[in-house]
């Protein structure tokens, strides 16, 4: 099962101040453990909400753009991982091993499973799987293209 592991923002993370080098090193080591265990699919830290925007959808196709910062810090995301695990319990055990993402203040990490093809029922599963395969093929192609551009740029 795939899960998104969401590191909730705090007042400190919302200031935009970079974490201490020691925490970055601990997180790097933890990420390496996740890779070695075959769990880590993706992950990153996010800039504070002051650097972001929201788009509010209202009835009748109205869209309103709202500039950050956003006030409800406890509702914001400071970072995330995407993991491939056997169960939610396994994800919980990995989170318990994680370095404290916000030393010196209370923080939370939330774990949420992704919908998978089988969640949509047997009649929808073939179409969903075909869709996922098309998207994954496109992402592989994009990744390959980006790698080639980086190689060409490095040669210059």
Q: Running DSSP on this structure, what letter comes out for residue 100?
A: P
Helix (H) or strand (E) holding 91: helix 88-97
Separation CA 97–CA 7 (nearest Å): 14
Task: Kindly tell me if the per-residue pLDDT of 23 is higher than 90.
Answer: yes
Is the model's pTM score more than 0.75?
Answer: yes
Task: Kindly tell me if the per-residue pLDDT of 78 is higher than 90.
Answer: yes
42 or 117: which leads in pLDDT: 42
Looking at residue 153, what is its pLDDT?
86
Looking at residue 136, what is its pLDDT?
85
DSSP string, 33-47: HHHHTT-EEEEEE--
Tokens of 84: 């491939």
Looking at residue 147, what is its pLDDT?
87
Looking at residue 95, what is its pLDDT?
98
Separation CA 112–CA 1 (nearest Å): 10
């Amino acid at each position: 099962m795939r899960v998104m592991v969401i590191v909730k923002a705090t007042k400190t993370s919302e200031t935009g101040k970079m974490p201490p080098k020691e925490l970055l090193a601990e997180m790097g080591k933890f990420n390496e453990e996740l890779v070695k265990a075959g769990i880590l699919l993706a992950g990153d830290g996010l800039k504070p909400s002051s650097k972001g925007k929201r788009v509010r959808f209202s009835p009748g196709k109205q869209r309103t753009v709202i500039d950050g910062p956003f006030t409800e810090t406890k509702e914001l995301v400071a970072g995330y991982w995407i993991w491939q695990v056997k169960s939610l319990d396994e994800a919980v055990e990995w989170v318990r091993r994680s370095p404290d993402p916000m030393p010196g203040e209370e923080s939370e990490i939330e774990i949420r499973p992704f919908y998978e093809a089988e969640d949509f029922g047997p009649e929808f599963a073939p179409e969903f799987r075909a869709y996922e395969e098309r998207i994954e093929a496109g992402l592989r192609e994009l990744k390959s293209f980006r790698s080639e551009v980086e190689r060409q740029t490095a040669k210059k």
